[in-house]
Amino acid sequence: MTDRYVLVDTDAGVDDALALLTIAQHAGAEIVGVGTVFGNCTERQAARNALTVLSVAGMRDVPVCVGQSRPGPPPATSSPHGLDGLGDRGYRPPPGVGPAPESAVDQLLRVAQDRPGAVDLLCLGPLANIAAAVTRDPRILTRFRSVTIMGGMGPVSRREVEAAEQPQFLEKGDTNTNHDPVAARVVAAAPGQITWVGMSVTGRLRLAWADLVARSAVGKTATFVRDITEDYHRYCTGTYRSEDPIYTAHDSVAAAVMLDPTVMLSATDAQPRVYHDEDGRAAVWGVSPVRGPAHRFVTDLDYRSIGARITATLDADPPGSDPTG
C-alpha cells in the first residue's frame, strides 16, 4: 500500500543517490517525479545521474526533468562527488533512457496543481527550482503534503553548542544554500509545512566505510554505493577528522525524516534567514522571534532508526535493477 507519493528535487551527487535508493526501498513510497538542479554537477548531468540511480533501483518509468542552471560561474574548487557527481566511476543510464521534456519547474507546478495535499516534496540540492516555482506561484509549497529541505544549519540559538560539539560544523557549512543564497532567501519567505533538516543534524550520522565494503561483497545495491562513494568517503573521513574511515549520508537523513517524521526527537519553529559569514559563505539559520512564515528546524533525530533504514537500503537488490557501468 502506497502511503507516500514523493517528488524529489536533487543535484544528484553521491549522497543524493543513496537518498533516492532509500526512498525507492521504502515499501510505502512511490517516487512520482525527479527534478534536477546544478550543485554537485550540472543540472543535465544530474538528470543522467538520477536516471542511472533509478535504474539501479529497478525503476524505469519515473519522469526525470531538467531544472535550473547555475546563475554564476562554477565553484573554484572541485567537488568531492567527482566531475560527474557520481564519483567518476563511469556509471550512466541504460541505453535509450533520457530526461522527460517537461522542465523541473513546470513539473513542480503541475504536481502541486494536480495533486494538492497528496505529495511530499523532498529538496536535496540548491533551491533554484523551488524558488522559481515560488516566484510563479507564491503559495505553491502549501499545496504539498510536506516539504523537507536538506539544508540550513539549525536554530541560530544553538550555534555555539553545535560548534563546540562538532568542531567541523561551521567549517563544513551549508553547501546547498551557499550554491544559491538568492534562491534560499525566496524559499525561506514562503509559507507551507516546511522542515529544514540541517547540517547540524545530518552530519551527526557517520557510517562505517568497512561496513559498506563488507555489504558490497554480497549485494548489487551496496556494490554500486561503494563504487560511487570510494573517493567521497576519503573526503568525509578527513572533513570530520575521524580516526576510522567513514562516509556521511546527509540526504538520506533528510529522506528518512520525510518518510517517517517520528524519527524527529526534537524540533523548533523558527524563521529561516540567510546569513553570510566573513568569508562570504551563505547559510540558512532559524531565528526567533518569528516575523513571517514559521518553518520547522530539526534539532535531534533517532539515528539508530535512520541507520537501520540505510542498512536495509544497502541490502536490498530490487528485481530489474541495472547498475550500468
**Which among 26, 81, 250, 295 is annotated as catalytic?**
250
User: Is 179 an active-site residue?
Assistant: no
**Which among 11, 16, 180, 251 is annotated as catalytic?**
11
User: Is 250 an active-site residue?
Assistant: yes
User: C-alpha distances in angstroms, 207 versus 74, 159, 170, 236, 254?
Assistant: 30, 24, 21, 10, 15
Closest CA to 86 of 15, 174, 8, 178: 15
Active site residues: 11, 250
